[in-house]
Amino acid sequence: MRAATGYFTAELRTCCDAALPARINVGIFLCKDVNEQRLKVLVNNLLANERVSHVVVRPHPKNLWVQMDSWIGSYADGRLYKSRARTALEDAKGLDVVFGGNSSVLVDAVTAGVPSAYVDQLDHGSMDLHGFVAAGLIYHSEADPDFEELLRFYQQPEWEQKLRRFANIDDDAPTVIAKTLSTIAALTPIL
């Protein structure tokens, strides 16, 4: 797949055309209602995987888990840390894989060229609340992920067409803005 250039920026890389690197930088992008136990299992499995270089946790802006910072700080080796980026897109640029729960940020990540995976029970919402897994857009991962299977999911020839149903990847930014303004103008009554 070519790099997404529409809503995002032209510098973003393509999603999943090549193998993952030998050492993988992983992100976990969270919803506000984190299932702490499931997150801990995922993080421990990732850190036990010799391919994982580091794990960055991106809390939701309205994170409800008040002990998250102290939990992250308890990992003294520096491989687990909290995101300092302003946006999820900034985080995604430095990652090879993103995991998350019921969040549209997974769509943002794959549109930015980063293979992403939904993990059951990472939050307290119902399974696949937004239907991204059911639609074949986002890979469904266990808490002990198989990185090669995740990559093969996004290398399916029909996957890019599924992405087009959720994200505008074909138009450049000026075209998207013009279409948006035209739609707004058509909806606005003339006074």
Task: Give the CATH number for residue 160.
Answer: 3.40.50.2000
- Note the pLDDT of residue 86: 92
44-92 residue pLDDT tens: 999 999 999 999 999 998 887 889 999 999 998 899 999 999 999 899 9
Q: For residue 140, what are the domain limits?
A: 24-187
Question: What are the angstrom distances between the C-alpha of 148 and each of 49, 115, 143, 153, 190?
Answer: 13, 11, 15, 9, 55
Asked whether 98 and 117 are in contact (CB, 8 A), the reply is: yes
Answer whether residue 191 shows pLDDT above 90.
no
Residue 37 vs residue 12, higher pLDDT: 37
100-138 residue pLDDT tens: 999 989 998 998 889 999 999 999 999 999 999 999 999
Strand extents, DSSP E, 2-146: 24-29, 52-58, 80-82, 97-100, 116-119, 139-141
- Note the pLDDT of residue 172: 74
Structural domain contains residue 120: yes
Asked whether 95 and 114 are in contact (CB, 8 A), the reply is: yes
> Partners of 116 in the beta sheet?
98
Structural domain contains residue 2: no
Q: Mean of the per-residue pLDDT values for the chain?
A: 86
Structural domain contains residue 10: no
- Please tell me the total count of domains within the chain: 1
Least confident of 21-35, 57-71, 157-171: 157-171
Structural domain contains residue 3: no
Here the tokens at position 45 are 């499995």
Structural domain contains residue 138: yes
